[in-house]
Amino acid sequence: MLSYRHVFHAGNHADVLKHTVLLAVLDYLNQKEKPYWVIDTHAGAGGYVLTAGRAKTHAEWQEGIGRLWQRDDLPPLIARYVTAVRADNPEGKLRRYPGSPLFALRTMRPADRLRLFELHPADVKLLAQNIAAAAPDARKRVQIRQEDGFAALKTLLPPPPRRGLVLIDPSYEDKRDYAAVVTALKEGLQRFANGAFMVWYPLLQRNESLTLAGKLKKLAPDWLDCTLTVQPPSPDGLGMHGSGVFLVNPPWTLAAALKETLPWLANVLKLGAGGTASWAVDVSNR
C-alpha cells in the first residue's frame, strides 16, 4: 500500500528481531568465497532519521534499539546488530537507523549484488540517496527499481551465482499481502530451491497472521521460525504484540544462537510495568 511508510516504525522491537536475524544470515553467507545476491522485495527508504520528522510521531525506536544502545551486556548476536547501527551514528548518539538495504550493503562484499524493489515514489527517491551516500560504487553493485517486489521477484530467480538471500518484508496493512507472501515463497522455491528465503511477519490477533507460519512450513523441508512477543495481545485484538521471522534453508548454527539470545532480548524489550514477553524458536525435522 502506498500509504505505508516504515519511518513511523523504524528501529522498533520488530526491526530489532528482523535485522538481528538478517545480519546473522549475511555473515553466514560471507563464510564462503563465492558471491551471492540479496533481493529485497519491499526495501523502503533504506535509512531513517529518528530524531526528526515522521519518526518522532510514535518514536517506536525508543522501545526497540533505544533500549539496547547504552547496554554493555549484549549477547553476541545483539552486539553484532548494535555495532551495525552504530555505523550510521559515528558520533555515538542514536540519531539514524539503517533499513535492511543498508544493513545488507555494508555486510556484503564487492563481488556480491543487491537488488531492491520499492513502490512508494518518495521512498524510492530516498532509497537511491541513502544507497549512493553509503557506497561510492553503488551503481555497480546495486539496482533499485520502483516496482511491485512480489511480481518482480520471479524475474530474478535463480540469481546468476546460484547463491543468495531473498528478503520478503511487506507492510501487511493490506491483508492480501499474507497470501502474496505464501505465493512468492512457493514460486521462489520452484525457481531457486537451494536459496535462502527470509520472511518477516507481524504477530496480530487476526486469522491471516495467526495462520501464516503454518502455511509457510508446508512449502519447504528445511526451515526455521522464530518469534518475539513483547506484550500480551490487547483485549480488543488491535495492534502488534510481537513479530516473527521465517527462514527457508537457514544457517545450521542459527537456531542455537537464537535460543541463547531471545530470552535475553524478550526480557529487555518487554513493554509495560510488570509486563510479560515470550519467545520461540521452531525448526523443521531435517
Domain boundaries defined on the chain = 6-220
- At 4 the pLDDT is 47
| pLDDT tens-digit map of 175-191 | 999 999 999 999 999 99
* Catalytic-residue membership of 40: no
Q: Which residues contact 180 (CB under 8 A, 6 or more apart)?
A: 150, 170
| pLDDT tens-digit map of 142-179 | 999 999 999 999 999 999 999 999 999 999 989 999 99
Q: How far is CA 274 from CA 66, 111, 230, in A?
A: 19, 49, 12
Q: Residue 1 pLDDT > 80, yes or no?
A: no
pLDDT band at residue 3 under the 50/70/90 scheme: very low
| pLDDT tens-digit map of 112-135 | 999 999 999 999 999 999 999 998
Q: Which residues contact 111 (CB under 8 A, 6 or more apart)?
A: 35
Q: pTM here? A: 0.95
Fold of 6-220: Rossmann fold (3.40.50)
Of the listed 123, 169, 177, 225, which one is catalytic?
169
CA-CA distance, 146 to 121, in Å (whole number)? 7
| pLDDT tens-digit map of 203-258 | 999 899 999 999 999 999 999 999 999 999 877 767 899 999 999 999 999 999 99
% of residues, the chain, pLDDT over 70: 96
- At 224 the pLDDT is 98
